[in-house]
Structure 1
Amino acid sequence: MRTRTPWLLSSPALALYATFLIAPIASVALISFYNFEFYGGIQPAFTLKNYAEILSDGYFYEIFARTFGVAAAVTLACIVLGTGEAYVLSRMGNPWKGLFLMVVLGPLLVSVVVRTLGWALLFGSTGLISVGLQALGLADGPTNLMYTNIGVIIALTHVMVPFMVIAVWASLQRINPSTEAAALSLGASQFTVIRRVIVPQIMPGILSGSIMVFAMSASAFATPAIVGGRRLKNVATAAYDEFLNTLNWPLGAALAMLLLVATIIVLVSANRLIERRYGAVFN
């Protein structure tokens, strides 16, 4: 009976998990093996044609490369900005700590579409960024960051930084303040303390934050669709077009499944590499 108790207690959560996560993913995986004909529609016949089409077309390789390149750049930017913000916040006293924590996490209370539309207004050739660069003499003419990878990276970083701050903040709360004081008393500089004492101890938080940021950036839809537009498609927007524009659900499902598999492979590989480097910290 004791061996059954944990399963009985967790059965409602497992049922919810299976209903709202496992079943939809399994359905998408099943549809990805269906056949699609322009005049005949979706036909439930097992075929690898959709995966063969994606893996043999350079157009899709470009989309995947852009997706993961942008996700990697956003992750690196969030590591730098989010780790620094979390460290500064952890050293603040009350009431400033709570106030600035709300400022950092405040964007999560605003719809991602609203935030992205705000960036779109700033990125335009007549937006504040373009006008400011011209006023400072840093640009000879209008600067348009819309429909560029840089614009997508900036907008996604703004969306994702709070998740990194939360993850790193949790790790910082577990650090004994005496370790930093001991290092300073032994003659280490503040930079050395951060690099040799603080960063190794918060590496689990940085890793967990990076996993969240990378996965959400790679699968992001609203921000790349608005800022990147039709010219800079990522996998999510390409799958959306296949589902709703061309109605080729099997090809869209194959794109979604390859994105899921590729993201898992990247995250697991990065996790193993970091655990080898900081194995003592994780153990």
Structure 2
Amino acid sequence: MVLLPLALTALLSFQRFNHETGVQPGYTLVAYAQVLGDEYYWQVFARTGWVALLTTLICVIVGAPEAYILSRMRAPWRSIFLLVILAPLLVSVVVRAFGWSLVLGPAGFVNQFLEWVGIGRTRLLYTPIAVVVALVHVMLPFMVIPVWTSLQKLDPWVENAALSLGASPFTTWRRVVLPQVTPGLVSGALIVFALSASALAIPGLLGGRRLKMVATLIYDEYLHELNWPLGAAIAFALLVVNLAVMLGFNAVLEGRYRRRMG
């Protein structure tokens, strides 16, 4: 179910295409040459990469402390706040994107607040800022849950032992807690990065037609231009880049984790 669609997509990316007759029999590297040789596609991939990376970084900064606080809560507050964290997953991504378009729009709450404090209205919708904000809202549960799961395996008495030996709370968190939740951080970061880099609905609705991301570019090639080989080539290139970033990131952090934990 996973390998067969990927194989068919890879096969499609090598097929010939004619704008008058569509996909033609025979195989060629024209689609990949177009992707690698056109600066426009490099710009779209670079934009997608830094948006996904910024989203991942913000989710780590916000999600890790949030998971730590959640793990130290007692019942029933833990269950209540866990439900609050997971509640956005019960709402469609399209609905959440439209909600953020209302909040960040010209007459939205954010612009009204900026006008009230004297800064004045600013253009937020159809910018990378809007895409990053909405992606963080959507992806945050995928960061909190893996870190929270790792924290469940951590004995609170280990922290108490560090505190009793004179370590400050920050040193305890940095030297005792953080190394043991690194696998959860790595898992959450990889999930958030992969989902952000391949997101379609939020960049399409909040980024608009001018702010192209790789997923919206693939959508246009498949359904608007009907150039399926080029769309498949871009999709396969996104898969390769995603795998390279994820495997490299995982190898670096896992290596540090093994050396630190012995």
**If the TM-score is normalised by the length of the shorter chain, which range does it land in?**
over 0.9
The 1:130/1:278 distance shift into structure 2, 3 A limit, reads: same
1:1-283 equivalence runs, <5 A = 20-137=1-118, 139=119, 141-280=120-259
Structure 1: distance between partners of 2:49 and 2:175: 30
Structure 2: distance between partners of 1:46 and 1:35: 6
Q: Secondary structure at the match of 2:27?
A: coil
- Asked if the contact 2:179/2:261 (under 8 Å) is kept, the reply is no
Aligned Cα RMSD in Å? 1.1
Q: Secondary structure at the match of 2:26?
A: coil
The letter of the residue matching 1:60 is: Y
- Asked if the contact 2:163/2:169 (under 8 Å) is kept, the reply is yes
Q: Secondary structure at the match of 1:43?
A: strand
- Offset from partner CA, 1:15-58 (integer Å, 9 cap, x none): xxxxx211111111110001111112101211000000000000
Structure 2: distance between partners of 1:282 and 1:265: 25
Shift of 1:76: 0.4
User: Gaps (5+ residues) in structure 2?
Assistant: none
- Asked if the contact 1:79/1:164 (under 8 Å) is kept, the reply is yes
- Asked if the contact 1:74/1:157 (under 8 Å) is kept, the reply is yes
- Asked if the contact 1:204/1:282 (under 8 Å) is kept, the reply is no
Shift of 1:85: 0.8
Which deviates more, 36-45 or 260-269? 36-45
**Bigger relative CO (Cα 8 Å, ≥ 6 apart):** 2
User: Gaps (5+ residues) in structure 1?
Assistant: 1-19
Q: Which runs of 4+ in 1 moved over 6 A?
A: none
Q: Size of the alignment, in residue pairs?
A: 262
What TM-score does the superposition give when structure 1 sets the normalisation length?
0.91
Structure 1: distance between partners of 2:62 and 2:112: 25
- Offset from partner CA, 1:116-160 (integer Å, 9 cap, x none): 1100101111100010111122x1x21221111111101000000
Shift of 1:182: 0.4
The 1:282/1:75 distance shift into structure 2, 3 A limit, reads: farther
- Offset from partner CA, 1:250-280 (integer Å, 9 cap, x none): 0000000000000000000111111222114
Structure 2: distance between partners of 1:92 and 1:24: 44
The 1:272/1:282 distance shift into structure 2, 3 A limit, reads: farther
